[in-house]
């Protein structure tokens, strides 16, 4: 049973409440997908580099940051990888490509973003009391000494404006800073490390609205009301996430009719063994 909520849980619940139920209530844990492993590894190394800069005033050598990211990626893979069945034959190549992406994006951070950031907080986890039955957790990637808030996601393509406007992470991070500093709305930026063929940094200024936390809190309240009532709506069958590529519960989901479950459950793409072998 989950002990705190988060922006990613809300996103999952809105896409498919049944998926959230199995993951967070039933605790049927599946290994993360490859993009999650790469994102985690880059973020861990970025937080390390920012903290080191905070503590010493000096930048870590880029090669040390890249090494830290590659080590974090190998360690992360040991928990296994979820892959859609059709990707299983190329799993090993995909994991190698994942490591290349980790190295490229961490190098991009060191070259283009790190020199611009003077961190006052980095990788700082906060649990917000929004007056709900559970706290809402948020990790502040970077708050600079100038009072700028930076969220540092990785992505395989550039963020759209809709994605920026719909991001709950920045709203929660801004609220955490607002409470901590007892101040006004800190300017927020989303610095997307885009793992395209040529990795690019996409910096977007996040919009700020005085009612944003009220709107977001209402969504969390509705989510908890649905949970308490035992209402877990499944995803629309035509939605992109209701497929074996994006949902590890597909083959055992009671909301998916048999004709859609063409591949046997034995081919369920959990690659714990592959992940460990690769990481060794």
Please state the closest distance from residue 15 (CB atom) to ligand SF4, in A. Answer: 7
According to DSSP, residue 25 is labeled I
Please state the closest distance from residue 146 (CB atom) to ligand SF4, in A. Answer: 42
d(CA 204, CA 164): 8
Please state the closest distance from residue 20 (CB atom) to ligand SF4, in A. Answer: 9
CB 79, CB 263: distance < 8 Å: no
- CB closer to ligand SF4, 18 vs 212: 18
- CB closer to ligand SF4, 45 vs 83: 83
Please state the closest distance from residue 28 (CB atom) to ligand SF4, in A. Answer: 10
- CB closer to ligand SF4, 108 vs 223: 223
* Interacting residues with ligand SF4 (CB under 6 A): 16, 18-19, 234-235, 241-242, 247, 249-250, 253, 255-256
- CB closer to ligand SF4, 95 vs 235: 235
Residue in this structure with the two tokens 């139920």, named with its chain if needed:
21
The two most distant CA atoms of the chain are separated, in Å, by 60
- With H, G, I as helix, E, B as strand and everything else as coil, classify residue 271: coil
- Between strands 200-206 and 154-155, the pairing is unpaired
Please state the closest distance from residue 18 (CB atom) to ligand SF4, in A. Answer: 4
- CB closer to ligand SF4, 178 vs 245: 245
3-state secondary structure 204-255: EEECCCCCHHHHHHHHHHHHHHHHHHCCCCCCCCCCCCCCCCCCCCHHHCCC
How far out from the chain centre does Cα 187 lie?
21
């Amino acid at each position: 049973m989950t002990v705190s909520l988060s922006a990613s849980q809300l996103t999952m619940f809105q896409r498919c409440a049944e998926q959230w139920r199995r993951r967070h209530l039933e605790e049927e844990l599946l290994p993360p997908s490859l993009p999650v492993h790469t994102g985690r590894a880059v973020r861990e190394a970025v937080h390390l580099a920012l903290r080191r800069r905070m503590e010493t005033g000096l930048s870590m050598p880029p090669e040390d940051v890249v090494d830290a990211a590659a080590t974090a990626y190998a360690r992360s893979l040991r928990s296994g990888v979820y892959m859609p069945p059709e990707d299983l034959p190329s799993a090993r190549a995909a994991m190698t490509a994942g490591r290349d992406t980790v190295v490229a994006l961490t190098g991009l951070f060191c070259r283009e973003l790190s020199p611009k950031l003077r961190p006052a907080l980095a990788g700082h986890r906060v649990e917000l009391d929004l007056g709900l039955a559970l706290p809402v957790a948020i990790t502040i990637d970077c708050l600079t000494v100038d009072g700028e808030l930076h969220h540092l996601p990785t992505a395989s393509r550039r963020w759209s404006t809709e994605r920026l406007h719909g991001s709950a992470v920045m709203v929660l991070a801004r609220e955490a800073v607002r409470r901590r500093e007892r101040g006004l709305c800190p300017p927020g930026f989303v610095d997307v490390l885009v793992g395209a063929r040529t990795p690019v940094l996409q910096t977007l200024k996040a919009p700020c609205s005085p009612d944003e936390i009220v709107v977001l809190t209402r969504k969390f309240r509705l989510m908890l009301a649905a949970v308490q009532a035992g209402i877990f709506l499944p995803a629309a069958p035509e939605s992109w996430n209701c497929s074996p590529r994006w949902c590890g519960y597909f083959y055992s989901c009671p909301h998916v009719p048999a004709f859609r479950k063409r591949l046997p459950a034995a081919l369920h793409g959990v690659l714990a063994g592959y992940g460990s072998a690769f990481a060794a």
